[in-house]
Chain A
Amino acid sequence: MRSLGYVADVPIETAPIVLLLLAFGWRLFGGYPRPPAALLRLSRREVSFVAAAAEALFPRGGAVPASGLDAGVPLWIDRWLDALPAGTRRLVRLLFGLVEQATLVFPAPGWNGWRRFSALDLAQRGRVLEGWRTSRWFVRRLVFTSLRAIVTQGYFADAGVLRALGLAPRAIEAPVTSADALYPPIGRPKAAILFAAHEVRVHGPLDRPPAGEPLGVSGPLHPAYREEAR
């Protein structure tokens, strides 16, 4: 029996399998860059995938100038994942891993189209996503819809994107109701309740907040969505 020599007990006939496993291991785990910022939940692999998907779904330019990366989609998804229940978080991670590796089965066009999703160039990533979107298999379309929904949520979380579309929320001064003398902000003790009962006017069985003017485009933006809030 011949051996690989430097690994004395490994028969040389198994070399192709070992190489294949090494290549697969590299595909799964190797070569991912270190993330630019400390993250709460996303692994190095996942942040690479999310960044690649965000750029492919929302490339720079076009009707809204900001790209998915400009809008900080990976950081938003990291924070959002942190807010999810553990079981749901696992499902989302499974989704990311599935699309990242599925180019083995549904490759992008080109001789190198079988590389993992995050290693493809922008045009190839766009073609891969289009394949998921227009598939005749419901499950593939569902995967695409889910991924795009997550990335889109992150894109729209950016105040600049909402301002560019004219969809940023307006400032609203909330009238005080009797409920505001009952509940503190979440996680705070009742000592943190903002209003005392005698400060709240109760108009019969229910409060009737004063009817303010209907909101419109001319109203001031919510402070968190103003240009100067950046």
Chain B
Amino acid sequence: MSRRGGVCVFAEYERDLHEQAEVIVVGSGPCGAVVARELAEAGRDVLLIEEGPPFTPADFALDGALSMARTMREAGLRATRGHVMPTMQAIALGGGSLVNSAICVRPPAFVFDGWADGFELAHTSRADLDPHFDAVEAFLGIAKTPDAVQGRRNLLFREGCEKLGISCEPIARNVRGCRGSGECFTGCRARAKQSMDISYVPAAIRAGARVYTSVRVEQVRCQGRRASGVTGRVVAPFSGRPGPAFHATAKAVVLAAGCMATPLLLLTSGELANRSGQVGRNLQFHPGVAVMGVFPERVDPQFGATQGMQSLHFLREGLKLETLWAPPAVLAVRLPGAGLALKERLAEIPYASIVDAIASCHRSLGTVRPRRAGSLEPLLHWRLHPDDLPVLGRALEVIVAVLFAAGARKVLPGVHGIPDELGPGDVDRLRGRSFRAGDFVMAANHAFCSTRMHGDPAQGVVDEWGRCHELDNLYVSDTGVFPRCTSVNPMLTGMALAHRTAKALQDRL
């Protein structure tokens, strides 16, 4: 590929590749794409390496399960052990931004104050990061979801919140020209979502970055305190069938492979940056629970922004509420029953509005380890801490109350141990009720902290600018560097930190 920027795809690889650059960025998700674009814009010679392929609108599968099989690692069936919980990570140019709902939220100051107090971080306050948030928001044109594309499903949530005096707001998203197709999770056919593959990555290419897709980085090479490059292999889209070898050298390496893959790369590259023993530890999630309310009138929930409204009202309690739409088959997982009873419930989906809560479970910790020695497949272990359980119970109670306030005639909580259907008079039955972890059907796609930043090199993997404490030119830029969960959707925070990392690296090159 020429040094003027461009993209390489699987069909072009015929022989082993040897590349050189000033900076190698591993992973093209929201963080890696920001680093690549910022450094390329600054005139640096950047190599961006992505294991997944680029998707065009023709490549999107509308069938939810087939879409997950194509865009997600382990076909979307990855789950934690310990407490079994599904967690999805994307494998595509643009990473998770291709198949997330584009939610962009700045965490409130108290989140960063908690980071500073608990992890000896003197330069990571909300005020420190605001310029970086500003830069990312301006580039992506992040804006609040307009009412025109909210759809009835999202507006019902607002009505419910207003009746109960709960603050709520339209969700800010990296979207331009949304048509309310509700297809964020299977890829935006309207090309409205500014996922990294159509925003930051093309901008990086225009600035001269070279992008290699369908290349899996398997090892980071080091000499003394310096990373010298990476080695890997071309892999076929979807099948992962290995192809020619890939070698690249650079002055600096940025690992942005995600909270699951980055620690594995460090561990399988000879326990890199792990004198603290923290690589692959402290894994945190935002477990989510979703509840469906059934309304007397037709809602047609498939129309409208996938996630258009949110409430930060209970954030200090550890709860963020959001509206939700997903492929119907995915939503149906939470419906009770089987047989004709299940079919009756399916027929109620057009009358439904779904609300979910993500919970800040920072006491519930897990680990990421290689499945086998040298493997890049993660073995995830995570347990819900008993002290975090009441947060989920509270989430259920609040969501049910909001749905009934909005006019739902019944609610299907999808929680073991309480009735399959709740009526308006049942809200009080949930108040203060205790649950067990296994009662909830949870999922968690926000994952953090597996290579956490910490001011003390003995307790963390990277410093505040993302540089590994033990190596002069190896950086980590993904949600793994968060010292604790963000309490809100993590993409924007990851991108702001990536923006800061890029600026720091630019100054040090």
User: CB within 8 Å of B: which residues of A?
Assistant: 56-59, 61-64, 79-80, 83-85, 87-88, 91-92, 126, 129-130, 133, 138, 141-142, 145, 148-150, 152-157, 162, 165-167, 169-170, 172, 174-180, 182-190, 194, 205-217, 222, 224
From A175, A178, A215, contact of B177 by CB (8 A): A175
Considering the complex of A and B, which 3 residue pairs feature the smallest CB-CB distances, nearest first? A63-B347, A138-B438, A156-B329
Residues on the B chain within 8 Å of A88, using CB: 74-75, 77
What 1/0 flags go to B299-327 for Cβ under 8 Å of A? 01011100000000000000000000001
Q: Quick check: is B116 within 8 A (CB to CB) of the other chain?
A: no
Q: A139 CA to B504 CA in the complex, in Å?
A: 48
Provide the bound-state CA to CA distance between A176 and B199, in Å.
13
A residues less than 8 Å from B9 (CB atoms): 183-184, 188-190
Q: A145 — which chain B residues lie within 8 A by C-beta?
A: 333, 441
Determine how close the nearest CB of chain A comes to the CB of B70; give it in whole angstroms: 7
| Cα–Cα, bound, A169→B177 (Å) | 18
- Does chain A have a CB within 8 A of B189? yes
The distance in angstroms between the C-alpha atoms of A94 and B406, with both chains bound, is 43
- B198, A177: Cβ atoms closer than 8 Å: yes
What is the CA–CA distance of A43 and B240 in the complex, to the nearest angstrom? 24
> Complex: how many Å from CA A186 to CA B187?
14
Contact A215 B338, CB 8 Å, known A62-B344, A138-B438, A190-B9: no
How far apart are the CA atoms of A215 and B332 in the complex, in Å?
23
Query: B179 near A184 (CB under 8 angstroms)?
Result: no
CB distance from A169 to the nearest CB of B (A): 5
Residues of chain B lying within 8 A (CB to CB) of residue A152: 329, 332-333
- Kindly state the separation between the CA atoms of A145 and B84 in the bound complex, as whole angstroms: 12
B59 touches A209 (CB 8 A): no
Would B183 and A169 count as touching, CB distance under 8 A? yes
Chain A positions within 8 Å of B176 at CB level: 206-209, 211
Contact between chains at B59 and A165 (CB < 8 Å): no
* Contact residues of A: prevailing secondary structure: loop
A129 and B202 contacting across the interface, CB-CB below 8 Å = no
Pairwise interchain contact B338-A56, C-beta atoms closer than 8 A: yes
A58 touching B149, Cβ below 8 Å:
no
Report the nearest A residue to B334, measured CB to CB.
Answer: A145
Chain A positions within 8 Å of B93 at CB level = 183
Interface residues in B187-222 (C-beta closer than 8 Å to A): 189-192, 194, 197-199, 201-203, 205
Residue contact A153 to B64, C-beta cutoff 8 Å: yes
Contact of B471 with A by CB under 8 A: no
Bound form: Cα–Cα A133–B416 in Å:
9
Number of interface residues of B (CB under 8 A): 78
Given A84-B75, A88-B74, check contact A170 B338 (CB 8 Å): no
Q: Are A214 and B328 in contact (CB under 8 A)?
A: no
Contact between chains at A216 and B346 (CB < 8 Å): no
Contact with A along B226-250 (1 / 0, CB 8 A): 0000000000011010000000000
Contact A83:B69 (CB < 8 A) given known A149-B333, A179-B198, A206-B199: yes
A215 and B151 CA atoms in complex are apart in Å by 9
**B contact residues around A212 at 8 Å (CB):** 177, 179, 190
Contacts of B327 on A, CB cut-off 8 Å? Answer: 156
Point out the residue from A126, A207, A214 that lies within 8 Å of B148, measured CB to CB. Answer: A214
Quote the shortest CB–CB distance from B436 to chain A (angstroms). 8
0 or 1 for each of B69-83: is its CB under 8 Å from A? (1 = yes): 110001101000000
User: Is the CB–CB distance between B75 and A85 below 8 Å?
Assistant: yes
Residue contact A187 to B10, C-beta cutoff 8 Å: yes
19 A-B residue pairings within 8 Å (CB atoms): A58-B343, A59-B339, A63-B340, A63-B344, A85-B74, A126-B338, A145-B333, A162-B328, A165-B347, A165-B349, A166-B300, A167-B350, A174-B189, A178-B202, A185-B59, A186-B10, A206-B139, A214-B179, A215-B180
Q: Does B122 contact A (CB under 8 A)?
A: no
List the B side residues contacting A162 at CB < 8 Å: 328
User: Inside 8 A of B441's CB, which chain A residues have their CB?
Assistant: 145
Query: Contact: B77 with A183, CB < 8 Å?
Result: no
What is the distance, in angstroms, from A21's C-beta to the closest C-beta of chain B?
A: 34
Known: A59-B339, A212-B177. A175 touches B329 (CB 8 A): no
**Shortest distance between the CB of A204 and any CB in chain B (Å):** 10
A185 nearest CB across to chain B (Å):
5
Docked Cα-Cα span, A174 to B179, in Å, equals 11
What would 4 more interface pairs be, CB under 8 Å, given A154-B65, A170-B181? A133-B336, A155-B329, A172-B189, A188-B11
CB pair B191–A130 under 8 Å, yes or no, is no
- Whether B62 pairs with A211 at a CB distance below 8 angstroms is no
Cα-based distance from A91 to B84 in the complex (angstroms): 14
**Do A206 and B338 contact each other (CB < 8 Å), given the known contacts A80-B65, A169-B183, A184-B56?**
no
Judge if B17 is at the interface, Cβ distance under 8 Å: no
Docked CA distance A58–B338 (Å): 7
A183 to B213, CA, bound (A): 10
Known A-B contacts A63-B343, A138-B438, A216-B303; A186 and B74 likewise in contact (beta carbons under 8 Å): no
Is B57 positioned at the interface, with any CB of A under 8 Å from its CB? yes
Contacts of A170 in B (CB 8 A): 181
How long is the Cα–Cα vector from A222 to B60 in the complex, in angstroms?
A: 13
